Structure 1
Amino acid sequence: MRRSAPLLASATLAALLTSCSGSTPAPPTPDRVPTGHGPMDPTWYQAVGGYFFHTADRGLSCGILDEAVGQSRHSAGCQGSTPPPPEMQACWNSAPDAAAMAVGESASYLCVNQGLFVGPPEDGGGQSGGQVLPAGASLTVHGFTCQTEQMGVSCRNDVSGHGFTMTPGTNRLF
């Protein structure tokens, strides 16, 4: 009987450790890139400062930030080359990387001088961070949902409904 107590304790501990280890999904690796349509697991896109992704063509970089930037709450935004609206022509024409759109309480155009919504470089490289969010997939974090198409993305505040759509050929606020 004395031998069965340690054996039972070991079996119980092994069962607990096994059930605990399966609770957190592993981050994506090059051989396990997110695919599919519909809602995606936010942990696949989490990095320091927020949740970052690219469109399938890697033309737009986007993020849902952990901290408020110029707003009273979190914000979601994208950066990339897109035609400038009249009020942003001077900025966006001088530096295509300055083109950005964001939504917090409301949606707006931004002129930025750095990678605000691009995420930290992956693996110490120079490329901005974040996995590709497959066309037709969505990411929901901090009350924002961003959905991608092949070459574009739409992000919205899930409470107010305000947001934006950004593609290489057009953009709009709503």
Structure 2
Amino acid sequence: MQNPDILKGSDIKITNLRDAYKISIPGFRLKRNMSTFLRILLFGFAIFVISFLLYKQPENASPIVLSLILGLVLFFAFHLHSKTIIIFSKNFIKVKHGCLPFYRTRQLQNLTNIYIDDSVNIGSDSTGSDFIYLVISSSKQWNIKIIVDHLSRQDIEFLRSRLSYLRYKFLNEYIK
């Protein structure tokens, strides 16, 4: 019998803790397409401009500000390549994005839906980019959006179905 927490050929890891499940989603991997090429080009250009400004800095400019900007650009580059951790338990869901030191916590009974958002429209709730998001929707708090653009369609559907299953499982235990 196949374990439902494992998808063959996937890097998504689901670990059963005592009263919770820990889901580990791998970080961003580069695809070979024009969108990735343009992102790398834009990122490289940003680093080049900031480094050039640090090198050719006029006397009245602050090197600390430029160093902070360069540090932030490098931090976000590293952040995109580190994994996302989701902890599902009876009372809450916690999401830790990349290397950020905090968890975003939502009450389990307030969760309304878990779905995939791959729309490209620009609106009040969308980002207007061509990323694919896994959205954890909550009734009384902000939604949590996780970029899953780098995963295959099979991985995305596996992740969505396992999270929906865990939501219903823990909600049924919460009601009892």
TM-score (norm. length: structure 1): 0.28
Q: Which of these two proteins has the greater Rg computed from alpha carbons?
A: 1
TM-score (norm. length: structure 2): 0.28
Q: Which structure has more strand as a fraction of its residues?
A: 1
Of structures 1 and 2, the one with the larger relative CO (CA 8 A, separation 6+) is 1
